[in-house]
Amino acid sequence: MSDKNEGPRIRIADETQSRFDHPRHSLHRTVSNSSMSIRSSHSRVAAPEAVLPITYRTLSYNINGDLKKADHSNKKDSKHVRDLEQLDWHLISVDELFQRLSTSPSQGLSVEQVARRTSEYGKNKPTPPPSGLFRKIVGYVFGGFGPLLFLGCILVFIAWKPLGNPPALANLALAIVLAVVFVIQAAFNAWQDWSSSRVMASITTMLPDDCMVVREHKQEWTTATELVPGDIVKVKQGNKLPSDLRFIAVSSDAKFDRSILTGESEPAQGTVESTDKNYLETRNIGLQGTHCVSGTVTGVCVATGDNTVFGRIAGLTNKPRHEFTPLQKEILRFVLIIIGIIATVVILVVVLWAAWLRRDHPDWINVPLLIVSCVSVGIAFVPEGLPIAVAMSLTIGANIMKKNKILCKSLATVETLGSVSVICSDKTGTLTKNEMFVTDCYTGGEEYTEGASRRSILQGEETDASAGNSINRLRIVGGLCNAAEFDTSTLSYPLSQMKMYGDPTDQAILRFSETLGSVNKLRSDTKNLFEIAFNSRNKFMVRIMHSLHADVED
pLDDT digits (tens, 9 = 90+) for 288-315: 988 888 889 999 999 999 899 988 887 7
Query: Is pLDDT at 24 greater than 60 in this prediction?
Result: no
What is the model's pLDDT at position 275? Answer: 92
- Residue 249 backbone phi and psi in degrees, to 5: -155, 130
Strands 542-547 and 526-532: antiparallel
Q: Out of 123-127, 273-277, 463-467, give the one with best mean pLDDT.
A: 273-277
Count CB neighbours of 432 within 10 A: 12
Whether 45 shows a pLDDT value over 50: the answer reads no
Q: Check which CATH number belongs to the domain holding 525 and give it.
A: 3.40.1110.10
* pLDDT surpassing 80 at residue 168: yes
Q: Which of 42, 61, 80 is the last residue of a domain?
A: 61
How many Å apart are CA 241 and CA 506, to the nearest integer? Answer: 21
Query: 479 exposed, middle or buried (CB, 10 Å; 0-12, 13-18, 19+)?
Result: buried
Q: Which residues does the annotation mark as catalytic?
A: 426
- Cα–Cα distance between 507 and 291 in angstroms, integer? 14
The arithmetic mean of pLDDT across residues 161-188, rounded, is 87
Q: Residue 47 domain-assigned? A: yes
3 DSSP β-pair partners: none
Give the torsion through C-alpha atoms of 298, 304, 307, 311, to 10 deg: 100
Task: Please write the tens of the pLDDT for every residue from 530-554.
Answer: 888 877 777 888 999 888 875 555 4
The answer to whether residue 106 sits within a structural domain is: no
Least confident of 317-331, 435-449, 485-499: 317-331
Judge if the upstream peptide bond of residue 162 is cis by omega within 30 degrees of 0: yes
Count Cβ atoms below 10 Å from residue 336 Cβ, excluding itself: 10
Q: How confident is the model at residue 460 (pLDDT cuts 50, 70, 90)?
A: low
User: Mind listing the pLDDT tens digit for each residue in 209-218?
Assistant: 789 999 998 9
Closest CA to 499 of 512, 482, 509, 486: 486
298 bridge partner residues: 234, 249
Q: Which residues pair with 300 in a beta bridge?
A: 232, 246
Q: Which domain holds residue 468?
A: 440-547
Question: Does the pLDDT at position 81 exceed 90?
Answer: no
pLDDT value, residue 551? 54
Q: Given this model, what pLDDT does residue 381 score?
A: 87
* 3-state secondary structure (DSSP) of residue 529: strand
Let me know if residue 235 belongs to a domain.
no
Average pLDDT, the chain: 78
Q: Specify if 336 maps to a domain.
A: no
pLDDT category of residue 362 using cuts at 50, 70 and 90: confident
Q: At residue 427, does pLDDT exceed 60?
A: no
**Best mean pLDDT range from 165-169, 223-227, 359-363, 380-384:** 223-227
**pLDDT number for residue 76:** 53
Specify the higher pLDDT residue, 188 or 308: 308
Q: Residue 101: which pLDDT band, with cuts at 50, 70 and 90?
A: very high
What separation in angstroms does the CA of 467 have from each of 477, 478, 519, 553? 16, 16, 20, 17
User: Across-strand partners of 486?
Assistant: 500
Please indicate, yes or no, if residue 445 is contained in any of the structural domains: yes
Among residues 382, 438, 468, 323, the alpha carbon closest in space to that of 177 is found at 382
Coil, strand, or helix at residue 256?
Answer: strand
Overall average pLDDT of the 198-214 stretch: 73
CB 97 within 8 A of CB 300: yes
Question: Does pLDDT of 56 surpass 60?
Answer: no
Note whether 534 and 541 are within 8 A (CB).
yes
pLDDT at 308: 92
Residue 17 pLDDT greater than 80, yes or no: no
pLDDT at site 229: 95
| C-alpha–C-alpha distance, residues 432 and 165, integer Å | 70
**Predicted local confidence at residue 41, as pLDDT:** 39
3 state DSSP class of 415: helix
Number of domains in the chain: 2
pLDDT recorded at residue 196: 64
Confidence at 161, pLDDT banded by 50, 70, 90: confident
3-state secondary structure 463-521: CCHHHHHHHHHHHHHHHHCCCCEECHHHCCCCHHHCCEECCHHHHHHHHHHHHHCCHHH
Average pLDDT over residues 80-87: 80
Task: Measure the CA angle with vertex 211, ends 209 and 212; round to 5°.
Answer: 160
Evaluate whether 67 touches 79 at the Cβ level (below 8 Å): no
> Which residues lie closer than 8 Å to 397 by C-beta, 6 or more apart?
414, 415, 418
For residue 114, which phi and psi values (nearest 5 degrees)? -65, -45
Residue 484, amino acid: A
Least Cα distance to 195 among 341, 410, 354, 42 occurs for 410
Among candidates 311, 306, 255, which has minimal Cα distance to 283? 255
510 domain-assigned: yes
User: What distances in angstroms separate CA 108 from CA 125, 221, 270, 288, 489, one per listed residue?
Assistant: 21, 13, 22, 20, 30
Would you state the pLDDT for residue 209? 78
Q: Output the pLDDT for position 489.
A: 81
Domain membership of residue 54 (yes or no) is yes
Highest mean pLDDT among 252-261, 395-404, 472-481: 472-481
pLDDT of residue 388: 76
The confidence score (pLDDT) of residue 77 equals 56
What's the average model confidence in pLDDT over 384-409?
76
Q: How sure is the predictor about 250, in pLDDT bands with cuts at 50, 70 and 90?
A: very high
SS3 of 28, please?
strand
Is 225 domain-assigned? no
Please name every residue paired with 245 in a beta bridge, in sequence order, or none if there are none.
286, 301
